[in-house]
Structure 1
């Protein structure tokens, strides 16, 4: 066996050179090589067969591992941080939140939030920062639709600013010093939890007039069915995880959708996967692509690089939406060649919600708006904390007619009314 000895330092250059830096190292060292991330050694892995071995080896070859800062800031009671039977039981509870029946009940209200947002974008006299506005949109969707919180708009705006500070530091170096990113993340988490606890208590006291069960209702009821009533801390961690799941990656994909609609009509998730991949800890030494992966080391499987190198995609750099059509279905040719939502026992629980949101957004964009790039060229893309344009993507929106430019004041009332 050949021990992995190839090494480089990723963390200092990752945000500057991004995927180009990664692809150059992959071309030089192959599909399995050693690097460093957030001060720790890491094995970076590319390729469907290699990824399959990691994802299918959960619980015996590898175990999930987020960076320490992420684990601490998300909290101990989350699905992401749980393992073994605890993880399986939590997934059973959370799976009901994203069931077909639940998505059907969310759909009309998601559509209302998107319509209201696009009217606001189209009425704005200047170009908007799409990435920032997409973050506001997905945050509002999570708060209003998924959690059913009736938080005043002013308070919601403040909570959004705090949440941005939280997300910006989720992948920070875990150094708890004054003015460090990690300390700012901890402070943001504490402020968020106070706000969430207030909203949860108000929601639990006001159960009249509801016309659908939101995600938090389902979470509470499912826990009772499994014989365990959730504590307030578990509820706060659960709501924070739901917001996290619906927020950053969906905002990234929404921005990529709009950017690609400016260039082309479809095919976003293959070219612009919101996250780079997933982290695991090696439970026992095993071989991967001719190399030994030592016990105790960290492994990151690369989604983006695997998409870029997958042999099932013909002319991989060509924009070709028909590759996903029924006649070709290139994404179905091999289970681990196309994995924008991960795979194995930790496949993204919210993937169907994300797809639903993006489809509704695409339909509403096509039917109610026209928009154009407000800069001379398309911006450079950065990958941290999720994929997004460095300048946020400056775009000017126009309503298709004068009616589209009117913000309907009754939208907030409609969100809580009978569908």
Structure 2
């Protein structure tokens, strides 16, 4: 990995000894980046967790790196901060290994399986939402994170949604995610990394028991599908590979969806005219809520896309350069860690006029602001590593809207403009207090 001296020709803000820019990035990564771009331009360096990273900003950088036509940007090395907690996850793989494992996982998302997942989700969501409080405030983020995990336990693992194991799984996933940005990178006592390593061990033990159960009696849940999934050549996964892939998938699926739904809840509470439009759209749906019915929820999809633009669950995408690379006047040596910035790119006024304003109409066919560049809207990444669960996530969000809004109206009980903590996965610092009012 290049030293600070090797990157001396690349500008960047002054760094603290030892800590570099880590504290500023964790506290308010968007503010630091916006100031850096205004001062140094779209190429600048920062020091995060002791590693010098070169930031490449804008849609051209996203297109060049994510498409990676020359094969010089490593996702595996880029996400090295996750390696201790999520080794073997699909996002932490490159080229042939990534291609093969993506093909295997894709078979678990085939059309017949998706129809079964939707049937399971509709039943589970209706039961879980019925338990949510009405006429009193609660923290929406905490509630939706618990709900999405319980849905995941039912759909992905075949567990009852009221299984007490869900709370322990949630705690383990939280510990894993927090460990990825812990300042201490070794699993020393009382550190976030130690809790993350323990969480990973607990999850692997839990999933390993599930494998034994599914081997004896395969089910229709996602975990069973992963157990039997193969690519076109009949190649499947070993037990350890299933554990690693499933651990990463469960974390990514429920954490990122929780962020998106929390952003939507805030936006709908702050803009009741859109909430009423979505409630009407949901009321008009034909039942059962299959893919064909959910596909008609055009306004819900616009709100979902706008929420992801304003608060993308993955606002930064890391890569590592494997060969010397020249970009916009700068020589970037092999081994350099680089960061792409879809979060702030999607707040660019050149792409989205008045970008801080909530305006789902940007995604209407008549305006199509997201089509101004193929990478103008990239909350799911792009290229070979584009999120494999994007379609599933969209269906899950639409299904929740269809189950909740005809029954309840969302009212904000806290700040109309929540402060977002962007890392490791975005969440409102106050948990987004809301009140549900029965219709």
Smaller-chain TM-score bracket: 0.7 to 0.9
Greater Cα offset, 326-335 or 61-70: 61-70
Aligned residue number for residue 133 of structure 2 = 122
Deviates more, 1:47-56 or 1:198-207: 198-207
Say whether the 8 Å CA contact 2:107–2:230 is kept in structure 1: no
**1:74 maps to 2:86:** yes
Q: 2:248 aligns with which of 241, 244, 247?
A: 241
- Verify the 8 A CA contact 1:323 1:330 in the aligned structure 2: yes
Aligned to 1:398, the other structure's residue is in SS state strand
Q: Which residue of 2 aligns with 1:139?
A: 149
**TM-score under structure 1 length normalisation:** 0.87
Which of structures 1 and 2 has the larger relative contact order (alpha carbons within 8 angstroms, sep 6+)? 1
CA shift, 1:311, in A, is 2.2
Cα distance in 1 for partners of 2:368, 2:109 equals 25
Q: Does 1:222 align with 2:229?
A: yes
Q: Normalised by the size of structure 2, how large is the TM-score? A: 0.84
Residues 100-122 of structure 1, C-alpha deviations (whole Å, 9 max, x = no match): 44322211222222222322113
Is the 1:58–1:345 Cα contact (8 Å) retained in structure 2? Answer: no
Q: 1:6-405, aligned counterparts within 5 Å?
A: 6-7=12-13, 8=15, 9-57=20-68, 60-64=71-75, 65-75=77-87, 77-123=88-134, 126-150=136-160, 153-173=163-183, 174-207=185-218, 213-223=220-230, 226-264=233-271, 265=274, 266=303, 267-309=306-348, 311-375=350-414, 377-400=416-439
Deviant stretches of 4+, over 6 Å: none
Distance in 2 separating the partners of 1:126 and 1:164: 26
CA contact (8 A) 1:129 1:395 kept: yes
Q: 1:122 to 1:157 in 2, by over 3 A?
A: same
Report if the CA contact (8 A) 2:270-2:412 is conserved.
no
Instruction: Give the superposition deviation at 1:44.
Output: 1.2
Contact persistence 1:257–1:268 (CA under 8 A): yes
Of residues 114-123 and 298-307 in structure 1, the stretch that sits farther from structure 2 once superposed is: 114-123
Q: CA deviation at 1:31?
A: 1.1
**CA deviation digits over 1:330-374, x for unaligned, max 9?**
112211111110011110111111111111222223211112222
Q: 1:4 to 1:100 in 2, by over 3 A?
A: farther
Aligned residues: 394
CA contact (8 A) 1:138 1:251 kept: yes
Give the Cα–Cα distance (whole angstroms) in 2 for the partners of residues 58 and 214 of structure 1: 36
List gaps (5 residues or longer) in structure 2: 1-6, 275-302
